[in-house]
Amino acid sequence: MTQTEVRICVVGDELSVGVGDARALGWTGRVMARTRFGRPAMAFTLAVPGETSSALGARWQAETESRFGPEDTCENRLVVALGRHDVDSSLSVARSRLNLANILDVAETSRVPAFVVGPPPGRPEDGGRIADLSAAFSDVANRRRVPYVDTYTPLAQHEQWLADLATNGSTYPGQAGYGLMAWLVLHTGWHAWLGLPADE
C-alpha cells in the first residue's frame, strides 16, 4: 500500500525564508531538518517580502493549491508565518485579526490543517505594537483550536536574539535568532500537529 505523502506549504514574508541567515536555512529549514516524518514529505516556502496579512490573505490559497496534492494520496498542511509588516502599514489590529481569521476559516473549510507562527521582535520602538499584534493573532488561533507559536514574548528580552538583531540593523535575526525561532516552533506543538512523536 502506498504511503500518504505530506505536503506542507509555509506562507509568509521574508522572515519565513531566513533573510539574514548566513546558512540560508531560516527557522523553516531548521524545523524541517529536525522533523522525522517516516514517510515522503515536501515543504514549500512561499514568501513575499514586505507582505502584510491583507496581502497574504489575498494570495495564499491560489499559491498553495498548485502545490497541494489530491486528498486521497496527500496530507496537505498549511503553516501561516506572520511577519511584522502590519505594524509598518496602516492596518489596525482588528483588521489584522480578521485577515488571519479569514485564512484559518478558509483552510478549515478546505480541510487543510493550519499551524500559525507569530511575528518575532524587531525594532525596539515597535515592541508594544508587535506584542499587541501577536496577542491578537494568538487569540484568533486559539479560538479556532489552531496551534499558535508566540515568538514575540520569549524573544523580546532574549540576549542572543537582541545581539543578532543589533548585528543586522534591528531588522532580521542571524543564525542564532532563527535557531531560537525554530526551537520555539519545535517545542510548541509542531510534532503533535503532524501526529509525530515529540522531538527529543
Q: What's the average pLDDT block by block, 10 residues per block, for the chain (200 residues)?
A: 86 94 94 93 96 97 95 94 93 97 98 98 92 98 98 96 85 93 97 85
Q: The whole model's pTM is what?
A: 0.95
Number of residues in the chain: 200
8 A C-beta contact, residue 140 and residue 86: no
Q: What pLDDT sits at residue 168?
A: 76
Q: How far apart are CA 200 and CA 196, in angstroms?
A: 12
Q: What is the pLDDT of residue 197?
A: 87
At residue 200, the pLDDT reads 56
Which pLDDT does position 199 carry in this prediction?
Answer: 64
Q: Per-domain residue ranges for the chain?
A: 5-194
* pLDDT value of residue 72: 87
Sheet holding 148-149, edge to edge: 41-47, 5-12, 74-81, 114-117, 148-149
Q: Structurally, what CATH architecture does the domain formed by 5-194 represent?
A: 3-Layer(aba) Sandwich (3.40)
Interatomic CA distance for residues 146 and 164, integer angstroms = 30
Number of neighbouring beta carbons within 10 Å of residue 138: 18
How many whole angstroms separate alpha carbon 84 and alpha carbon 9? Answer: 20
